[in-house]
Chain A
Amino acid sequence: MGRRRFGCLDFEGSCFSFVPMIWLRRIALLTIFFLSLPSFSFAAQVQETVLDNGLKVLLLEDHKSPAVTFQVWYRVGGRNEKDGKSGLAHFLEHMLFKGTPTTGPEEYSRIIAKNGGRSNAFTSTDMTVYFATMSRDKIHIQLELEADRMANALLGDTYFEPEKKVIQEERRLRTDDNPGSALYELAASVAYSIHPYRRPVVGWMEDIQALSRQDLVDFYKLYYAPNNAVIVMVGDFNSQEMLAKINAAFGKIPRGAEPPKLNVVEPPQRGEKRVSLKKEAELPILLLFHHAPNLHHQDSFALDLLSMVLAGGKSARLHQELVYRKQLVRGIDADYSAVSMDATGFALSAQLLPGVDVSKVEAEIERQIDKVKTELVSERELQKAKNQIEAAFIFAQDSIFGQAMKIGYYEMVGGWRLVDSYLDNLRKVSRDDLRRVAQKYLQTDNRTVGILIPTKAKAQ
Chain B
Amino acid sequence: MTRKSIIFFLAALLLPAAPAWSAMAAKRSVLANGMVLLTSEQRALPTVAIELMIDAGARHESAARAGLAHLTSKLLTEGTAKRSALQVSETLDFIGASLDAGCGDDLATISMTILKKDLSLGLELLAEILTAASFPVAEIDRQKQSVLASIKAKQEDPGTLAGEAFAAALFPGSAYGRPVEGTEATVKPLDRKSLQEFFQRYYRPNRTIMSVVGDVSEAEISAALSQVFKNWHKGEASQAAASPTRTDGARTLRINKDLTQANIILGHGGVARGDADYYAIQVMNYILGGGGFSSRAMDSIRNERGLAYSVYSYFGAEKTHGTFQFVMQTKNDSAGEAIGLAREEIRRMREELVSEAELSDAKNYLTGSFPLRFDTNRKVAGFLGQVEYFELGLDYPNQYGELIGKVTRADVQRVARQHLTPEKLLTVIVGSQQKIKVP
What residues of chain A have their CB less than 8 Å away from a CB belonging to chain B? 12, 14, 26-27, 29, 33, 64-67, 97, 105-106, 109-110, 113-118, 133-135, 138, 159, 161-170, 172-174, 176-177, 179, 280-283, 312-316, 320, 323-324, 327, 330, 351, 353-354, 380, 383-384, 387-392, 394-395, 397-400, 455-460
Contacts and interface: CB of A to CB of B under 8 A. Distances in A.
B361 A114 contact: yes
A33 B371 CA distance: 17
A169 B307 contact: yes
B93 A177 contact: no
B406 to A, nearest CB: 18
A169 B372 contact: no
Given A12-B159, A14-B153, A162-B305, 13 more contacts: A14-B157, A67-B375, A106-B299, A109-B294, A114-B364, A165-B307, A283-B152, A314-B93, A380-B94, A383-B94, A398-B45, A398-B376, A457-B432
Contacts of A324: 85-86, 142
Contacts of A14: 153-154, 157, 160
B96 A390 contact: yes
A229 to B, nearest CB: 23
Interface in B296-349: 299, 302-310, 312, 329-331
A33 B260 contact: no
Nearest to B305: A162
A154 to B, nearest CB: 15
B303 A106 contact: yes
Given A67-B371, A166-B308, A315-B90, A106 B293 contact: yes
Nearest to A353: B149
Given A109-B294, A177-B158, A458-B256, A351 B153 contact: yes
Contacts of A97: 293
Category for how many chain B residues contact A? 35 or more
Nearest to A456: B258
Interface in B365-402: 365, 367-372, 374-378
B183 interface: no
A96 B18 CA distance: 35
27 contacts: A14-B154, A29-B292, A29-B312, A64-B42, A65-B371, A66-B19, A106-B293, A113-B292, A113-B294, A114-B365, A165-B306, A167-B309, A169-B309, A172-B331, A173-B310, A176-B260, A315-B90, A316-B93, A320-B86, A354-B149, A354-B152, A384-B90, A387-B96, A400-B375, A455-B258, A456-B258, A457-B256
What 3 A-B pairs come out closest when comparing CB atoms?
A116-B368, A391-B96, A165-B306
- Which of B44, B157, B309, B361 has the most chain A CB atoms inside 10 A of its CB? B309
Nearest to B314: A29
A116 B362 CA distance: 9
B368 A177 contact: no
- Which of B94, B113, B148, B152 has the most chain A CB atoms inside 10 A of its CB? B94
A209 to B, nearest CB: 13
A179 B259 CA distance: 11
B89 interface: yes
Given A135-B371, A169-B261, A460-B254, A114 B294 contact: yes
A133 B293 contact: no
Contacts of A133: 372, 375
- Which of A138, A164, A354 has the most chain B CB atoms inside 10 A of its CB? A354
B360 A114 contact: yes
Contacts of A397: 45
Nearest to B303: A106
Nearest to A458: B256
A265 to B, nearest CB: 35
Given A65-B371, A169-B307, A177-B261, A391 B115 contact: yes
Given A115-B368, A166-B309, A330 B153 contact: yes
A244 B137 CA distance: 65
B48 to A, nearest CB: 10
Nearest to B312: A29
B155 interface: yes
B246 to A, nearest CB: 24
A214 B96 CA distance: 50
B372 A67 contact: yes
B146 interface: yes
A116 B329 contact: no
Given A162-B306, A398-B47, A282 B294 contact: no
B227 interface: no
- Which of B302, B305, B432 has the most chain A CB atoms inside 10 A of its CB? B302
B368 A353 contact: no
Contacts of A116: 364-365, 367-370, 372
Contacts of B62: none
Given A161-B306, A169-B308, A312 B367 contact: no
A422 to B, nearest CB: 15
A391 B95 contact: yes
A26 B293 contact: yes
Contact of B329 (A113, A117, A173, A380): A173
B23 interface: yes
A323 B143 CA distance: 10
B256 A460 contact: yes
B257 A457 contact: yes
B220 to A, nearest CB: 19
Contacts of B236: none
B226 interface: no
A394 B306 contact: no
B243 interface: no
B189 interface: no
Nearest to A11: B310
B434 interface: yes
B200 interface: no
B5 interface: no
B258 A394 contact: no
A152 to B, nearest CB: 20
Contacts of A316: 93
B307 A388 contact: no
Given A173-B261, A398-B377, A109 B372 contact: no
B408 interface: no
Interface in B416-439: 432-434
B92 to A, nearest CB: 7
- Which of A29, A64, A455 has the most chain B CB atoms inside 10 A of its CB? A64
B25 interface: no
B189 to A, nearest CB: 18
Interface string B235-263: 00000000000000000001011111100
B163 to A, nearest CB: 10
Given A169-B308, A177-B260, A392 B47 contact: no
A52 to B, nearest CB: 34
Nearest to A235: B375
A320 to B, nearest CB: 7
Contacts of B154: 14
A200 B157 CA distance: 21
